[in-house]
Amino acid sequence: MPGPIASPSSATIAHPVAASSYKSAMALLASLFFIWGFITVINNTLLPHLRSVFELSYTQTTLIESVWFIAYFVASIPSARLIERVGYKKSMVIGLVMMAVGALGMIPAARLPSYGVTLCALFVIACGITLLQVAANPYVAVVGPADTASSRLNLVQAFNSLGATLAPLFGGYLILGRSTGGTANAEQVLTQAERLADAQAVQLPYLIVAVVLVLLAVAIARYPLPAMGGKRVAKAERGSHSLWRHRNLVFGIPAIFIYLIAEIGVANLFINFVSQPHIGNVTHEQASHYLFLLWGGMMVGRFAGSMLMRSISAESVLAGAAIGATVVMLVATFTTGPTAMWALIAVGLFHSVMFPTIFTLGIRGLGPLTEEGAGLLIMAIAGGALVVVQGWLADTYGLQNSFLLTAACELYVLFYAVWGAKPTNAFPATH
């Protein structure tokens, strides 16, 4: 790879790379999207496990995921600066190595066992994922033709969902399936000896994850990632324009932030919700199999969304998804039994297109400001940290009622699709 490329926005002012080059880059990036989707969703099986091991409340349980998403806020700007200094490929390798170090940190956390060390290990993993996100999302959005950016990002995000779909099976078998808490009914209280034994169950899966990450880092280090041609827009020229004159970005930042509250809240509380006697009346291990369907719906929805956006505007697809998500969340909140369970599963289908579509709409027309705009949108992923609010609502008003927060989040996404995503002061397209 040639000298360091300052930022993903370089592509917005560059000549398009050859189709064969960017397709090979897309194939590489798809593997990264897959692996970070896989690792992120392992948390969904890890959280009910840790809740049993450490006897946590819903608030304490969701705090674990909040720490994960705080990393996006903390690490986004340093990640962008690292990419500027060392380039895309080295940054991706560093990100994968960071994730491997965090995964290995889960082994001493399990041996102690320690809630604090667990939080630290997960934070390191999340910082590595943040570095990959800061590089990969804008890169995919601008590496090909501008008019298919939403379709392209939805396509690679589908591989992220493929990883997310397989993760519950992996975590359900190797974590929940090998622990007393994972195979017991929802109301069983574990002894101290059982909790200590259960804590050890995370060692093997995270060791496997660490080995895979190291192998992928080696593969990427040896891969000839195509460079994005062209020179970076001068800093003085970028400084003469204001980000805040672009409505699609101004409303897109809170749209990403608020959407993440919805997605993470559903995913993290899903197993606890489904295992309740008046909903699914199953064990945590069995509930993880239904979580597989939630993430599978996101994968299917992203492939379908990528196809739909070739003939239907991204805004229209996003609006339809927001309406569908609002309806099924209200059904999940106010009904019981299989109806409520399947409604919550169905929200994955509607959530599927939201992040990639909001992201590409948010940076649309930013021209020389794409670098800063993309960085702010990635930082907004920190919205997932506010899942702790839903944990507090679940403790205070009941788990099922806490999903009214999710329904409210879907309504903001609808507002963004209908009005907030319309660009103002857009720069001319460069492709």
Neighbours of 358 (CB within 10 A): 27
Paired tokens of 251:
């409303």
pLDDT score of 6 more than 60: no
What are the chain's domains? 19-146+159-226 (1.20.1250.20), 244-419 (1.20.1250.20)
Neighbours of 214 (CB within 10 A): 17
- Whole-number pLDDT of residue 367: 78
- Whole-number pLDDT of residue 63: 80
Which residue has 């895309």 as its token pair?
Answer: 88
pLDDT band at 229 (very low <50, low <70, confident <90, very high): very low
- Tens digits of per-residue pLDDT, 396-427? 999 999 999 999 999 999 999 999 999 998 88
- Whole-number pLDDT of residue 311: 92
Q: Average pLDDT, whole number, for the chain?
A: 83
pTM of the model: 0.76
pLDDT score of 238 more than 90: no
Paired tokens of 237:
């020229």
Question: pLDDT higher for 389 or 188?
Answer: 389
Please tell me what DSSP assigns to residue 203.
Answer: H
- Whole-number pLDDT of residue 179: 65
pLDDT score of 122 more than 50: yes
Residue type, 353: V
pLDDT band at 384 (very low <50, low <70, confident <90, very high): confident
Residues in the chain: 431
Cα distances from 240 to residues 25, 233, 366, 367, 374, in angstroms, run 32, 12, 13, 12, 18
Average pLDDT over residues 340-354: 96
The phi, psi pair for 233, rounded to 5°, reads -65, 140
For the purposes of burial, counting CB atoms within 10 Å of the CB of 183, is it exposed (0-12), middle (13-18) or buried (19 or more)?
A: middle
Question: pLDDT higher for 174 or 37?
Answer: 37
Paired tokens of 369:
């400001």
pLDDT band at 79 (very low <50, low <70, confident <90, very high): confident
pLDDT score of 87 more than 60: yes
- Tens digits of per-residue pLDDT, 18-66? 555 567 777 777 888 898 888 887 876 777 777 777 878 888 777 887 8
Which residue has 């907030």 as its token pair?
Answer: 420
- Whole-number pLDDT of residue 72: 86
Question: What's the CA gap between 267 and 157, in Å, rounded?
Answer: 17
| Among 25-34, 140-149, 328-337, 378-387, the least confident range | 140-149
- Whole-number pLDDT of residue 44: 67
Paired tokens of 161:
């969902």
Paired tokens of 119:
């939080």
Question: What's the CA gap between 231 and 247, in Å, rounded?
Answer: 27
